[in-house]
Structure 1
């Protein structure tokens, strides 16, 4: 269910949900939840079950219960678009959360920062600390290791029986890690890793590093 790596002598634990936990800072890092997207789809006639709305909140609560973070950093696209009924669910979740909440604003985060500030959620453009750069869009900045989202990374894997799987993943290079989208119904974007990348694919219950040379198509 988890896999840990070392970056700049710090420990980061990847969870099969797509969340990342910075052990030394007790910080949970989550990207691209896209709250409100399911309600948006339903409003426009998509046949998405009502109970699917609760899944993101239940999963997020489960991760918080497991790691017990002192702070939670959302790497952008916390909400999909404008406010809808899921904002009320979000307010209820925030009210039960004791961790400090920070939103690194993404391109979908169009809700007024004042709404977040009313919930004691800090909204910022980026975080730079201890040689790390936390952003929504992936960036390259000299001397900093970048954690980002936005891409919703995934790769295709080939099996011995010619079967093909498309799986979301943590996508790492020497200077950057792109987190998978945390939310349900967010979609993915296929990437083509090279031998310079480390790829950790996620399933519902597992996370594992793949052999790029023999598994990726």
Structure 2
């Protein structure tokens, strides 16, 4: 089944929300990715915790799918591109280098996050421009840490938001996008990341949950239009 996307209006600007846990600005032709945490599995193994190999490859495959679907000219990573210093393991860097070789035409920008400061930068051959938050691009203030920015709508990561849907017998945690009047938070893109439940703090926000291959508005407050107050 093909992955579907949902286009919403944020203060008069289109933003495409993908079930692949990313957002796309069709005007700027830029893809926004939060919290990829590449190499997190290598970090765990280096620290003596046995975890499966392959999460970096899975994450890169989804990134390939997004590039094929949207044909962006640039990708902006909203922080935490790498997980830690041990993410520079050969297995991770080799996979990233192979991906970069397939997409040399793409401009890559990293808005530095807290994990990036400890992990250290990728080698220069990867061609990633590292910037501080907030990074201005069109109507957006692109950040890692959720915040408000005068004169722009802020998009951030860091929180890894998930929403818990529950019945009396069962529950499921679904990754989600959350949008307030002046700022929004994207779900974590990485295949090996946890989540922070936003149920209690989501009042007045528009929430869009990812279920399978689709993005759904959670309730009536999650309309297709988000306007600043």
CA distance in 1, matches of 2:73, 2:99: 16
Range that drifts further, 121-130 or 101-110:
121-130
Range that drifts further, 90-99 or 22-31:
90-99
Residues 135 and 148 in structure 1, CA contact (< 8 A), matched pair in contact too: yes
Residues 83 and 119 in structure 2, CA contact (< 8 A), matched pair in contact too: no
TM-superposed deviation, 1:60? 0.9
CA distance in 2, matches of 1:129, 1:33: 20
The correspondence of residues 177-192 of structure 1 with structure 2, limited to 5 A, is 177-191=184-198, 192=200
**Among 164, 189, 199, the residue aligned to 1:156:** 164
CA distance in 1, matches of 2:114, 2:94: 22
CA distance in 1, matches of 2:23, 2:155: 10
CA distance in 2, matches of 1:212, 1:47: 43
The C-alpha deviation readout for 1:98-133, integer Å capped at 9, x for no partner, is: 2111110110113444x4533221000121233421
Unaligned stretches of 5+ residues in structure 1: none
Taking a change above 3 Å as real, the CA distance of residues 165 and 112 of structure 1, as seen in their structure-2 partners, is closer
Would you say 1:210 and 2:215 are equivalent positions?
no
Would you say 1:84 and 2:89 are equivalent positions?
yes
Taking a change above 3 Å as real, the CA distance of residues 122 and 11 of structure 1, as seen in their structure-2 partners, is same
TM-score (norm 1): 0.89
Would you say 1:129 and 2:137 are equivalent positions?
yes
The C-alpha deviation readout for 1:52-87, integer Å capped at 9, x for no partner, is: 331111111111111110000000000001111201
**Among 122, 126, 142, the residue aligned to 1:119:** 126
Aligned-residue CA RMSD in angstroms?
A: 1.9
Secondary structure at the residue paired with 2:114?
coil
Taking a change above 3 Å as real, the CA distance of residues 111 and 51 of structure 1, as seen in their structure-2 partners, is closer
Taking a change above 3 Å as real, the CA distance of residues 165 and 55 of structure 1, as seen in their structure-2 partners, is same
Taking a change above 3 Å as real, the CA distance of residues 195 and 27 of structure 1, as seen in their structure-2 partners, is same
Range that drifts further, 98-107 or 134-143:
134-143
TM-superposed deviation, 1:33? 0.5
Residues 10 and 23 in structure 1, CA contact (< 8 A), matched pair in contact too: no
CA distance in 2, matches of 1:52, 1:129: 30
The C-alpha deviation readout for 1:16-49, integer Å capped at 9, x for no partner, is: 1111000101100001010000122233344433
Would you say 1:102 and 2:105 are equivalent positions?
no
TM-score (norm 2): 0.85
TM-superposed deviation, 1:146? 0.5
Residues 33 and 75 in structure 2, CA contact (< 8 A), matched pair in contact too: yes
Residues 179 and 185 in structure 2, CA contact (< 8 A), matched pair in contact too: yes
The C-alpha deviation readout for 1:114-166, integer Å capped at 9, x for no partner, is: x453322100012123342101001112332110000001121134x643221
